[in-house]
Amino acid sequence: MKLLRDHPRKRNVTLNRPDIGLAERLAVNSVLKKGNLAQGNQVKAFELGFANFVDSQRCVAVNSGTSALHLGLLSLGIGAGDEVILPSFTFAATANAIALTGAKPVFVDIECDYFAIDPNAVLAAITKKTKAVIGVHLYGHPANLESLENIAKKHSIYLVEDAAQAHLASYLGKPVGSWGDVAAFSFYPTKNMTTGEGGMAVTGDQQTERTLRLLRNQGMEARYQNEIPGFNNRMTEIAAAIGLVQLRKIEKWTLARQANAAFLDKNLDGVGVPKVAAGAKHVYHQYTISLGDLDRYRFASELKRLGVDSDVYYPTPVHELPAYAQVHDLPISLLASKTCLSIPVHQNLRKADLHHIVQSVNFLAKSGA
């Protein structure tokens, strides 16, 4: 590409990275000194602390967001012969959690504006075998939970929330994670808060909570009294210690992400910026732009050359992946997978970083990169 006079100077703006400080290190050291590394008091405290963000729902800490979703589905009795509806435009873990119960993932399209499952598509996909629908809060924007809740109640199916990317998001003033029969959060290093690796299964039902606790711990509540076949999906004390510190920071971080997103919304030109539905609180796990007819991989390459990281979430709808390879006509999912690009929005961006992102994106869009 030819250099122009207004070509932005190169910086180094990362897309995301775990925000780990001295408080997290001290918390981990404290656990290490005590010597109890397996699931214990830190995990219990983390579960209680996280409950404050999901309307005091019952929280069960596990070793990953995928485990949270998988155990959540199993706790509802979902298995072989059942169908679970989900959006195809999501990370494969959503479908994997369904498939690993023995149930069939049924892929549907997303809404045009919000990268979220289309309630009308859900209605069209319901059969006698449908046991649940999963609303994925992709990039931190909540799905249309009111419509999904109404559909679930009308058809006597479960509503499940994949909230892996949506810590502190809400819909109509109610936190995500508190709408569904079960919900799953992730604390992977790139998420808005992290425990290194980890997840949280959330439910409002006491029996479902007990089943979740049995499933994560070899099927036992009392030692060596295995009531059901279960897994070793426990969260470590080290992970929970990190999480407890991050809980004190997540609200401030979220406000910073939202402020950064507002700046990008106002100043980006020549690309499609994320839309926010009425009643939705977006927490911007990713800030995902739409590039239309621009060459996405050339655009991303040029951004990288200018020192701005970016990535594609996700380049292939799940129904087209080799693991599933189903034939569907899902045009909006396909379009999103071909035109989306996520750029930095995290809380550690400085004003100079934001200006550089805007200058770089606008320059490339104008140049037709």
pLDDT band, very low/low/confident/very high, at 29 (cuts 50, 70, 90): very high
**Domain 22-247 CATH (choose: 3.40.50.970, 3.40.640.10, 3.40.50.620, 3.40.50.300):** 3.40.640.10
* 66 alpha-carbon distance from chain centroid: 10
| Of 11 and 138, the one with more pLDDT | 138
Q: Which pLDDT does position 254 carry in this prediction?
A: 98
Task: Give the alpha-carbon dihedral of 187, 63, 89, 328, to 10 degrees.
Answer: 180
- Positions of CATH 3.40.640.10 in the chain: 22-247
pLDDT digits (tens, 9 = 90+) for 306-354: 999 999 999 999 999 999 998 889 999 999 999 999 999 999 999 999 9
- pLDDT at position 71 is 98
Residue 297 has pLDDT above 90, yes or no: yes
Residue 95: C-alpha distances to residues 74, 91, 116, 131, 145 (Å) = 14, 8, 15, 14, 19
3 or 68: whose pLDDT is higher? 68
Q: What is the rounded average pLDDT of the residues 237-251? A: 98
pLDDT digits (tens, 9 = 90+) for 217-231: 999 999 999 999 999
User: In the predicted model, what is the mean pLDDT of residues 67-71?
Assistant: 98
The stretch 254-260 carries a mean pLDDT of 98
**Is a pLDDT exceeding 70 seen at residue 95?**
yes
pLDDT tier at 7, thresholds 50, 70, 90: low
Please tell me the distance from the alpha carbon of residue 266 to that of residue 29, in angstroms, as a whole number: 43
pTM of this structure: 0.96
Read off the pLDDT of each residue in 33-41 and give the average, rounded to a whole number: 94
pLDDT for res 28: 98
Asked whether 92 and 222 are in contact (CB, 8 A), the reply is: no
Higher local confidence (pLDDT), 297 or 327? 297
What is the per-residue pLDDT across 119-161, written as a single tens digit (0 to 9) for each?
Answer: 999 999 999 999 999 999 999 999 999 999 999 999 999 999 9
Instruction: Quick: pLDDT tens for 276-291.
Output: 999 999 999 999 999 9
**Mean pLDDT, to the nearest integer, of 81-90?**
98
As annotated, the residues of the chain forming the CATH 3.90.1150.10 domain(s) are: 250-367
Confidence at residue 224, expressed as pLDDT on a 0 to 100 scale: 96
Residue 159 burial (CB count, 10 A): 21
Question: Band of the pLDDT at 195, cuts 50, 70, 90?
Answer: very high
So what's the pLDDT on residue 323?
96
pLDDT reported for residue 4: 43
What is 250-367's CATH number?
3.90.1150.10
pLDDT of residue 368: 82
